[in-house]
Chain A
């Protein structure tokens, strides 16, 4: 089955990004496809390359990038929401790309299920 994921909150402040990540990992382990993960609202902050968590904490940003690399998951950050919050190509973490909201709609059309994680 093809899944699309929408993440509406940033890392560390809310559990949304962690829950979404663990959902994606479980779905991939079961042989499902993650068609796209779309980052909207404060969710765009998951893509900041400037993020530096303490050593003993999980690195949410890097973790998403690795998942994208290993499983060819398309990580898309909404351009309008990103620019509002100071995320640009200059500080975009590896594995993410910035694009329009149309990518969310397209994912909703193409995937069998769209699952949202937020506050």
Chain B
């Protein structure tokens, strides 16, 4: 690996948690990418916004609640979290419903941001 190469990685989360494993396993990739000292951005759009909903209680479905991990991202120097505004509003959510601080972005700005990336992983 070329020493010190830093690329812009973006993870586009478009799926809700628990119904499928994508959100959890994508989060594992995010953490590893940060460990490689890469420039990491996380995008939450469409049903992916639900991953950030406060108050997730998974005891009843006997599945690990991985939502606290989003709050720990700060400790991995992952601070670029973006939520697409229309997706959030279409799901009856506001910023106050989300368990981490995010930057709410218009769809046009989201499109521009994607253009700037080197590697975009969507799931």
Contact = CB atoms under 8 A, between A and B. Distances in A.
A109 B38 contact: yes
Interface residues of B, number: 20
B1 to A, nearest CB: 6
Interface of B: 1-2, 5, 7, 9, 21-22, 25, 28-29, 32-33, 35-36, 38, 118-119, 121-123
Contacts of B122: 116
B119 A81 contact: no
Contacts of A118: 123
Contact of A105 (B21, B22, B25, B33): B33
A40 interface: yes
Given A41-B25, A102-B32, A114 B119 contact: yes
Main secondary structure of the interface of A (DSSP, over half): helix
Given A110-B1, A114-B119, A41 B21 contact: yes
A102 B36 contact: yes
Interface string A72-96: 0000000011000000000000000
A109 B21 contact: no
A109 B21 CA distance: 25
